[in-house]
Amino acid sequence: MSKRRLPTARMGDYMPAPGRSDGRFVGDEEEIPMHRLSINSRRSIDSAGMSSTFSIDTPLMAAASDMDEPHSRITMPHTHLDPGGKRGKARTEPLNPQDNAFKKSRYPANVVSNNKYNIITFLPLVLFEQFKFFFNMYFLLVALSQFVPQLRIGYLFTYVGPLVFVLAVTMAKEWHDDYARRKRDGEANSQRYLRLTVDGPMAVSSSKIRVGDLVLIEKNQRVPADMVLLRTTESSGACFVRTDQLDGETDWKLRIAVPPTQKLDDSLDLFLLHGSVYADAPHKDIYDFVGNLVIDSGLPDAQAVTVPLGVENTMWANTTLASGSAVGYVVYTGRDTRAAMNTGHAKTKVGILDTEVNRLSKILFVVTLGLSLAMVALDGFKAVWYITLFRFLILFSSIIPISLRVNLDMGKSFYSMMIERDREIPGAVVRNSMIPEELGRIEYCLTDKTGTLTCNEMELKRVHMGVMAYTLETSDEVTRHLRANLKDRVGAEDPEETRQPSALAKGHGKARRDMPQRVFDMVESLALCHNVTPAEESAPAADSGTHDDRAGVAVSKPMSYQASSPDEVAIVKWTEHVGVVLAERTLSTITLRLDALLPEEQRGHGTAPLLTYDILQVFPFTSESKRMGIVVQSRLSGDMYFIQKGADAVMTRIVEYNDWLDEECGNMARDGLRTLVVGRKRLSRQAYARFEQAYSQARASVVGRAEAMRQAVADHLESDLELLGLTGVEDRLQDHVRTTLELLGNAGVRVWMLTGDKVETATCVAVSARLVRRGQLVHVISGLRSASEVSAALETLRTLGDCCVVIDGDSLQVALDFYRDEFVRIAAALPAVVCCRCSPTQKADVVRVLQQHTGKRVLAVGDGGNDVSMIQAADVGVGLVGLEGRQASLAADFSVDQFSYLARLLLWHGRNSYKRSAKLAQFVIHRGLIISIMQVVFSALFYFAPIALFQGMLLVGYTTVYTMAPVFSLVLDRDVSDEIAMLYPEL
């Protein structure tokens, strides 16, 4: 068929800033100038290159090791959620958006919705929430009784007015809070994205994206809907996404574009394709996706193809594109997205003080009924005694004063205003003004890790090499050692001479070496053993296209790195800081630039010598192996090395014997650093040939392939590695986190950390944040799959007593399924609990289980979309305004900017709100008892007649104007200063 020529538009060079029009935006959809948008692969792709890209043995795929790991989750059956409606079904949609326009309305709109009400449900739901409490229902019945002439006592307004006022105030507050939520949702739904059309890219709001649209996502832009990845700016079709706002994991995830669409010359060539996309029914499992992409016509080779789709071909909503630009095909929108399905519905939260007041009102009603029966009985049940009984009930109704609700609501509004105006908590927002006193009754605090306790900024703090240790402050010594080693070995002062083949990469062996040699070997190994890909901010300014020119030209702008783990990025940045820069990485090579040989003033502005290595094998990190390895060969010397880094628990038996590793690992762990042991082994050609033969045979196995491959590596490579050193990486905590956790602990609040990150990472952060006290035992429960294993683990935990337990998601799920009561009883008594690899749904389940089995008030703190379910399920939810979005902040009851503000929020504002409300409730009830006792005495003296002692407005004035001063004094009461409250959190 003839290929129709479309207007050329390319991705990558243009993305309008939020709120900016550049003079071209018109309404909701605007046409973008065609010359402003570019997307073309930087290198051509042939079929061989594409097939090698997706081989599991390539370094690129090694970065995707997380996708092969077992993730803890609550598996949901792939059933239709709504068999008769417009959502919940598997779908097959045309690939070409022009064929899909008439089907888009069948699916939910792509909107974020955190509001509780709409125009129809507002009045019924608010009234239901109010009158489900006995307190309000009682006064409704009393007010209605005044419409009966025989029961009317005094003015009708004195009974109906207060009730109407209370309901009006409550409805106004609910409307205001819900309007604010709806307004914030509107801001999220109005974010701009580029939708590809046959006429060119169009800027549309997020809410107008529909199933079947082709959407262009730029670097660091949030993905607005669940998509299938069709194209990226990387020639390999790969890109990285950050999923911490979805699952809480800090590791970047590798995503692969569909090969046939990635091979197209231009993104607009997608409109020449005709076919279909199949996606399974929407479900909660963020680690599972089943689909197919069928292309019937439009490919250059004119052949029909069917491509199976998996989770590695998807970008879920609320993730962030971390590298390049990408074009995605929308498969799920709105409430069908994984993010929305893992988010619980907002509920109306009621404070425990309101519950206690409601319970007390029932007791007082029984007292009122008893007094009324006594009065009627003493009168001898004369005539229509039941009318008299009702009149006495109404006369004594001031025992349960309706003014209590008015006064409490007034106090809550004042407390909320004080929180928002506190200069010590800048940026605080109260989104639910009905529960400020709950902040003073918290006994369990469940917090997220990434972005809540930590800044998600990894930094290499320490490198230990047995006889010497280096920190960031002494990194200049490392640079001097590198410079001395390289100059001595090449015998040249001129950096240009080091670019020639020489003994630059020789001399690696197990013989005794001087410190410069040891330092170079360590830095070189750290710069090679990883899955990091460099990306320069600006293209190299070289006239020739040779490899040396591309990698050797130093740029003025800093290098950025892409990786599946922020730990590896931190290590590579450290090697760059000391003078060994990861200049270029392809599927088969790694190029290092030796800036250490350049004078300080020339770094970043001159040409540095290069070292190039061929990548022979990559063994990715997994949660089971806890180590990562690589086999490289130097192009200068021809030497081959097996370099491996991993957790000390597994590397101790792999490296040669030493007398310092265990001690230093313990020292770093006590400082909260995440340790990695680095070892290396030089391989002869014969040794590598033997390994390659065994490894190839293992890969060809049909049964037990993974185990056979691991065994081949262990037999031929993982033995007698030379121990090069130990690294300590810190996930930097937010400011004053340690102090805040200590204050909460002293106040009797038990802190649980719920995170989607790895066990090792969470344990290090718990130690660093002082969630685990110095000297306290950390007991890890992980990898349990059966009820018997969990039973044995709980029995062991019971005998340990005071310790911090770390449990992974799979083990947690088995424990909740089979030993829910026992697990919660044991865990609730521990000073600290860390739950790792938790899905968003699991976090909410932990909150509910803790509430049900302890009866205590639970606070949930988070900053990402994956924390929304937990925040909504908790008695009090606090959202942090994070770098990755405001989902948690919008859904929370209270919003703050930093975790450290939580201490003042609870220990000062929560304490004051609770104590003031409790005293106010006691005062109002006692005030009602006083006038009711006077009414009882008056009726008894006047022959048990149901006549009011105080008439009309006099009674209303007693409960309002005449006793107003004590009410205001109690609302403003403060028994200690804020300095004392923060100094002695036990108060």
**Residue 690: φ, ψ to 5°:** -65, -45
Q: Is 448 known to be catalytic?
A: yes
- The b-or-e profile of 174-194 (16+ CB within 10 A means b, else e) is beebbeebeebbeebbeebbb
Residues 6+ positions from 25 with CB-CB distance below 8 Å: 16, 203
Q: Which DSSP category does 655 fall into?
A: B
E strand spans, 233-361: 238-242, 252-256, 274-279, 291-297, 305-309, 314-315, 320-321, 326-332
Residue 480: both structure tokens together: 């001097």
Distance CA(482)–CA(475), nearest Å, equals 11
Distance CA(557)–CA(538), nearest Å, equals 7
Residue 758: both structure tokens together: 């790895």
Residue 6: both structure tokens together: 């479309």
E strand spans, 755-803: 778-781
Place of tokens 């108060």: 987
Q: Which of 177, 379, 448, 867 is catalytic?
A: 448
Place of tokens 């070997």: 521
Q: How many CA atoms lie within 13 A of 196 on its CB side?
A: 31
Please answer whether residues 451 and 882 qualify as being in contact, where contact means their C-beta atoms are separated by less than 8 angstroms: yes
Q: Among the residues of 728-773, which ranges form H helices?
A: 737-746, 759-768
Residues 6+ positions from 80 with CB-CB distance below 8 Å: 88, 89, 281
Please answer whether residues 428 and 880 qualify as being in contact, where contact means their C-beta atoms are separated by less than 8 angstroms: no
Q: How far is CA 60 from the centre of its chain?
A: 25
Distance CA(55)–CA(48), nearest Å, equals 11
Q: Which DSSP category does 874 fall into?
A: S
Among 315, 332, 323, which Cα is nearest to 277's?
Answer: 332
Q: How many CA atoms lie within 13 A of 864 on its CB side?
A: 35
Residues 6+ positions from 854 with CB-CB distance below 8 Å: 443, 444, 824, 828
CA angle 642, 645, 648 (to 5 degrees): 130
Q: How far is CA 330 from CA 16, 416, 565, 757, in A?
A: 21, 42, 27, 28
Residues 6+ positions from 869 with CB-CB distance below 8 Å: 342, 343, 344, 840, 841, 843, 844
Residue positions annotated with a catalytic role:
448
